[in-house]
């Protein structure tokens, strides 16, 4: 009799947790406190990805590190990419002293042929906890945007958007959405028409233009940003698995505004995108979005950038967590709602 999926995943997760002591034994000692080999697992943070994250540290103390283990092929690629990104950014001389916001990679490798990544724990409180706890999201948008704007500015370079760049920016994530639509039956014709229209709306204002591009975080949402509660400034930025270069820095800022609004209003991301396409923005949101649209002089428009951010976000959700592809409620609120506007 086949083992149910949730049981297989539970057993898989237990086996990966069993690798934690072996990983801790490989961590270098820093000369202060008990050696990592004596650390213990603290708790398992919730995650929407196919990754197991275990917080570890000395017994009775706060966590010192996060061990990340992959639970799917997509998660394996994400871990490898995140390790590569952090290595590149931490070694980039242009980013001193901004790189203090990056987690330090303490170890990376394989256990029983499966990859793992160990990162230092950064100080601060997740911005998502402050916003979800009742704090007005607008009050945090400016400081949060400033935290990533330095990365954009310090790595900026002008480029011409040719076919290869458009393929990476637009065509590849669109192919993920098209494949998903076709797998769900034969693919609703209106959905495929909507995706084709989206391709045209993104290609037209971007292809052939000279634009300023930079490194982007790629998933710059309040849950991935840490805030110093005393100063209200960004103290750390985590989860770099979707980082990319060269790309439009505006996407990080648009993603930040959309995700903060979804969190504060307790709405689905796709529902917020549909609302945003109507142009209803708060004063705080307009201030941050003004940074993102200023270089373009109206082309691409803000609505185009919103659709661009939605495309990247939705494609990443379908690839980094298998559960979303089969979740009809998520699809209706996040995928079909936006496609209906395009159709």
- 137 closest CA partner among 279, 240, 287, 241: 287
Looking at residue 10, its pLDDT comes to 45
Q: What is the fold, at CATH topology level, of the domain defined by 125-342?
A: Aminoglycoside 3'-phosphotransferase; Chain: A, domain 2 (3.90.1200)
Indicate whether 48 pLDDT > 80: no
Indicate whether 137 pLDDT > 90: no
**Burial label, 119 (beta-carbon count in 10 A; 0-12, 13-18, 19+):** buried
Name, in order, each residue with C-beta under 8 angstroms of 94's C-beta and a sequence gap of 6 or more.
154, 155
Looking at residue 196, its pLDDT comes to 95
State the pLDDT confidence band at 152, using cuts at 50, 70 and 90: very high
What average pLDDT does the segment 126-132 reach?
87
What average pLDDT does the segment 52-75 reach?
89
Indicate whether 124 pLDDT > 60: yes
Looking at residue 11, its pLDDT comes to 46
Indicate whether 189 pLDDT > 90: no
- Answer with the residue of higher pLDDT: 155 or 324: 155
Looking at residue 8, its pLDDT comes to 42
pLDDT in tens, 66-123: 999 988 888 888 999 999 999 999 999 999 989 999 999 999 988 888 889 999 999 9
Least confident segment among 185-194, 267-276, 315-324: 185-194
- Answer with the residue of higher pLDDT: 50 or 234: 234
CB neighbourhood size of 87 (10 A) = 12
Three-state DSSP string of the chain: CCCCHHHHHHHHHHHHHCCHHHHHCCCCCCCCCCCHHHCEEEECCCCCCCEEEEEEECCCCCCCEEEEEECCHHHHHHHHHHHHHHHHHHCCHHHCCHHHHCCCEEEEEEECCEEEEEEECCCCEEHHHHHHCCCCHHHHHHHHHHHHHHHHHHCCEEEECCHHHHHHHHHHHHHHHHHHHHHCCCCCHHHHHHHHHHHHHHHHHHCCCEEEEEEECCCCCHHHEEECCCCCCEEEECCCCCCEEEECCHHHHHHHHHHHHHHHHCCCHHHHHHHHCCCCCCHHHHHHHHHHHHHHCCCCCHHHHHHHHHHHHHHHHHHHCHHHHHCHHHHHHHHHHHHHHHC
Q: What is the fold, at CATH topology level, of the domain defined by 5-120?
A: Phosphorylase Kinase; domain 1 (3.30.200)
pLDDT in tens, 161-174: 999 999 999 999 99
Long-range contacts, 335-338 (Cβ 8 Å, 24+): 335/177, 335/180, 335/270, 336/191, 336/270, 337/268, 337/270, 337/271, 337/273, 337/274, 338/270, 338/273, 338/274, 338/307, 338/310, 338/314
Indicate whether 4 pLDDT > 70: no
Any idea where the domains of the chain sit in the sequence? 5-120, 125-342
Looking at residue 138, its pLDDT comes to 72
Looking at residue 297, its pLDDT comes to 61
State the pLDDT confidence band at 43, using cuts at 50, 70 and 90: low
Q: What is the mean pLDDT of the chain?
A: 87
Indicate whether 259 pLDDT > 70: yes
């Amino acid at each position: 009799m086949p083992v149910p999926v949730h049981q297989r995943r539970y057993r898989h997760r237990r086996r990966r947790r069993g690798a934690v002591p072996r990983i801790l034994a490989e961590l270098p000692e820093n000369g202060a406190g008990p050696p990592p080999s004596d650390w213990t697992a603290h708790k398992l943070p919730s995650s929407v990805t196919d990754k197991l994250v275990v917080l570890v540290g000395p017994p009775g103390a706060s966590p010192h590190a996060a061990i990340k283990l992959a639970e799917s092929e997509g998660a394996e690629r994400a871990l490898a990419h995140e390790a590569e990104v952090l290595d590149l950014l931490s070694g980039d001389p242009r980013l001193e002293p901004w790189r203090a916001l990056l987690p330090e990679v303490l170890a990376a490798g394989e256990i029983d042929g499966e990859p793992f990544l160990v990162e230092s724990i950064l100080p601060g409180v997740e911005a998502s906890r402050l916003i979800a706890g009742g704090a007005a999201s607008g009050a945090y948008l400016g400081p949060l945007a400033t935290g990533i704007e330095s990365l954009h500015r310090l790595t900026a370079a002008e480029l011409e958007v040719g076919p290869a760049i458009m393929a990476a920016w637009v065509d590849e994530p669109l192919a993920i959405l098209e494949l998903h639509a076709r797998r769900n039956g034969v693919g609703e014709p209106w959905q495929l028409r909507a995706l084709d229209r989206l391709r045209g709306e993104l290609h037209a204002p971007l292809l052939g233009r000279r634009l300023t591009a930079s490194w982007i975080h790629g998933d710059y949402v309040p849950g991935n940003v840490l805030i110093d509660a005393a100063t209200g400034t960004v103290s750390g930025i985590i989860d770099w698995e979707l980082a990319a270069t060269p790309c439009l820095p505006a996407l990080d800022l648009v993603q930040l505004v959309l995700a903060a609004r979804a969190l504060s209003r307790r709405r689905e991301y796709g529902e917020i995108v549909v609302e945003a396409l109507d142009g209803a923005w708060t004063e705080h949101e307009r201030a941050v979005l003004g940074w993102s649209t200023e270089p373009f002089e109206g082309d691409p428009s803000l609505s185009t950038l919103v659709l661009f951010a939605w495309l990247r976000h939705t494609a990443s959700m379908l690839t980094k967590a298998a559960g979303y592809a089969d979740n009809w409620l998520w699809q209706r609120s996040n995928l079909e709602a936006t496609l209906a506007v395009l159709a």
